[in-house]
Structure 1
Amino acid sequence: MGELSNCPKCNALFVQTQFRSVCDACFKKEETAYETVYQFLRKRENRKAMLHEVVEATGVEEELVLKFIRNGRIQLSSFPNLGYPCAKCGKTIKEDKICEGCKQDIHKQLDQMEQVEKISERNKPKTSSYTYYSQSTKK
Structure 2
Amino acid sequence: MAELSNCKNCGRVFVRVASPYCPECLKEQDRLFDLVYKYITSKEHRMATVPEVHEETGVSADLIYQWVREGRLTTSMFPNLGYPCKSCGTLIQTGVVCESCRTKIEGELRRADEEKKVSQKNQESITYHTRNSRF
Per-residue CA deviations over 1:63-103 (Å, capped at 9, x if unaligned) read: 11112112211111111111011111110001111110011
Runs of 5+ unmatched residues, structure 2:
129-135
CA distance in 1, matches of 2:55, 2:42: 16
Contact 2:47–2:79 (8 Å) recurs in 1: yes
Q: TM-score, normalised by structure 1?
A: 0.85
SS of the counterpart of 1:77?
A: coil
- How many positions carry a matched residue from both structures? 127
Structure 1 stretches of 4+ with a deviation exceeding 3 A read 125-128
Instruction: Quote the residue 2:3 is aligned against.
Output: 3
Structure 1 residue ranges without an equivalent (≥5): 129-139
Task: Find the residue that maps to 1:79 and give its secondary structure.
Answer: coil
CA distance in 2, matches of 1:7, 1:114: 42
- Specify the alignment match of 1:72 in structure 2: 71
CA distance in 2, matches of 1:67, 1:118: 40
Q: Give the letter for the 2:46 counterpart.
A: R
Q: What is the CA–CA distance in structure 2 between the aligned matches of 1:5 and 1:117, rounded to whole Å?
A: 43
Other-structure match for 2:111: 112
Partner Cα distance (1:17, 1:71) in 2: 18
Report SS of the residue matched to 1:78: coil
Alignment map for 1:1-139 (pairs within 5 Å) = 1-18=1-18, 20-124=19-123, 125-127=125-127
Determine the structure 1 residue equivalent to 2:132: none
Q: CA RMSD in A?
A: 1.4
Cα separation, 1, equivalents of 2:71 and 2:121 = 49
TM-score (norm 2): 0.88
Question: For 2:8 and 2:113, how far apart are their aligned partners in 1?
Answer: 42
Contact 2:50/2:61 (<8 A) preserved: yes
Q: Which has the larger radius of gyration?
A: 1
> Following TM superposition, by how much is the alpha carbon of 1:127 offset from its aligned partner in structure 2, in angstroms?
4.6
**SS of residue paired to 1:69:** helix
